[in-house]
Amino acid sequence: MAGEPSLGEAGFANGGDDNSGGEPYVWDLPTGFPLPFEPLGNPTTVEKVELGRHLFYDQRLSDNNTTSCATCHQQELAFTDGRTVSLGSTGESHPRNSMTLTNVAYASTLTWANPLFRTLERQAIVPMFGEEPIELGITDTRDIEAELREDPLYLALFQAAYPNAETLGTLEQMTLALGSFQRTLISSNSPFDRWIRGDDPKALSDEALEGYRLFNSEKLECFHCHVGFNLSDHVHWKDKAFFDAPYHNTGLYNVDGKGAYPEPNTGVLSVTGEPSDMGRFKAPTLRNIGITAPYMHDGSIERLDGVLDHYAAAGRTIAQGPYAGDGSKNPFKDVLVIGFELTSAERAAVLAFLASLTDETFLEDPRFSNPW
């Protein structure tokens, strides 16, 4: 990967500079939410979070000054972009749908299907310097560093975040700050949250409550992959006793009758080379799912009722075209994707439950908004 510095286990450059200092960030978490995991060497501070927020929304982090992290991760869309697949700074299409950053602090790994990216600091290097596809398209780190150092506001932000550093405005410091900001993007105030915590016993309608019951039934099996406080089985947190990062093939494709997914979206297979990893992607959180359309790793399902159709059929059948195939017969499909039947009332109930996962306060929280 062009421009990637040597990375340590924590996921950022081993530059040797003293990047400590600042006021510890206070995690104001609701009942049931554990403390997020923070990589060694990057404890979250108030100052790093504020610096990271400025960087996240700054188009100067792209080579042509047209694109920021927030271009593909917009707060009002729960930090997605509403596109089938995202567009980079040069207009090039990304092969995948923009994943929500809702509660990304709790993700075991980052991106849809790369088990190697375990920290936000390490993952940040990909959109900055990646060439296939080009996202932010940075070609020379020194230019970005020099430009930010010349900005009096940034000079003050870097000094506050890293008061003990000999050099300010480095790529390492940027990735640390971006990671710190993104860890604070915690959503926990949806109607479902208020109901399940007991804050508002009437926060869910009877229809949504029935949808919740169905969601957790063996009939639908949804709860196996979308489980726990973050409605995902792909979670990690501070002091968790073990690390796991499950991935699933849901039968979305079967283009050759032998289980193949369209290139380049072959899932974990593209990293491991293991045939059994074909089409395996992580189950993202369902928080704010009602506003993060379109769905699946490639944005190929436009609406939530289409997602229900996919699972009800135990895999998607594409009748014609280059991706034709019966996904229900994909030999690598997860054993829990078995199909089901829903009445129109049951379907409406499940959709009502999913709608109850939208956290309006998260979408408008000024702590996460564009500071520019």
- pTM recorded for the entire structure: 0.94
Identity (one letter) of the amino acid at 295? Y
Among 10-14, 95-99, 192-196, the minimum mean pLDDT is found in 10-14
Identity (one letter) of the amino acid at 61? L
Q: What is the pLDDT of residue 16?
A: 53
Q: What is the tens place of the pLDDT at every residue in 246-295?
A: 999 999 999 999 999 999 999 999 999 999 999 999 999 999 999 999 99
Q: What is the tens place of the pLDDT at every residue in 66-112?
A: 999 999 999 999 999 999 999 999 999 999 999 999 999 999 999 99
Question: How confident is residue 20, by pLDDT bands cut at 50, 70 and 90?
Answer: confident
Report the candidate in 298, 297, 316 with the shortest Cα–Cα distance to residue 306: 316
Tell me the β-bridge partners of 24: 45
Q: Mean pLDDT, the chain, as a whole number?
A: 94
Among 19-23, 30-34, 75-79, 276-280, the minimum mean pLDDT is found in 19-23
DSSP sequence for 335-348: TT-------HHHHH
The radius of gyration of the chain from alpha carbons, rounded to an integer in Å, stands at 21
List the domains of the chain with CATH numbers: 46-187 (1.10.760.10)
Phi and psi at 325, nearest 5°, equal 160, 160
